Copies of this chain bind each other. A is one copy, B any other.
Amino acid sequence: MNTSHFGEHVTIDGYGGSEALLNNKDLVLGSLSDLPAKLGMTTLSEPQVFWAESNHIKDPGGWSGFVVIAESHISIHTFPKRGFVSIDAYTCKNGMDTDFIIKYFTERFELKDTEVNFLKRGTKYPEGDIY
C-alpha cells in the first residue's frame, strides 16, 4: 500500500495582541467563519465560541472557539489580559500556506510576536482503503 502524509497542521501562539481585539467574541467567531473558505476547506459544523472564566491562576479568562472542517479543524483560544492567543489550523490539504495564516491572525489580533510549529500529520496515511 502506498502512503502519503494525511494533512498539515500549523500551531500559532501569539503574543502582545490587542486586549480589545482578543476580547471580541465576534472577531473570534468571524475568523472561524472566514478562514475555512480562504483555505479552500469545507466546514462540517457551525463555528462555536465559548467564554472561559478566569481560574485565578494561569488563565485570566477568554474566548475558546472551534470549527470542524472535513476532516480536520481550526481552533482559537484567546487570553485578552495576557495579550495571548493560541491557534491551531489543521487541514487535510497538502501545501498549506502557513505565511498567509500567520499574517491573517497577526493582523486580526495585532500580534507583536508569534511562535509557530508546523507538523506533517499522518505521514504513513494509506492512499487507499485497507478494509
Contact = CB atoms under 8 A, between A and B. Distances in A.
Interface of A: 6-7, 9, 11, 13, 15-16, 19, 44-45, 48, 50, 52-53, 55, 58-60, 62, 64, 66, 68, 70-73, 75, 77, 79-84, 86, 88, 90, 92, 113, 115, 117, 119, 121-126, 128-131
Contacts of A83: 126, 130-131
10 contacts: A13-B125, A15-B126, A50-B68, A59-B70, A71-B79, A72-B77, A72-B86, A81-B130, A82-B128, A84-B122
A83 to B, nearest CB: 5
| This chain's copy number in the assembly | 2
Contacts of A48: 45, 68
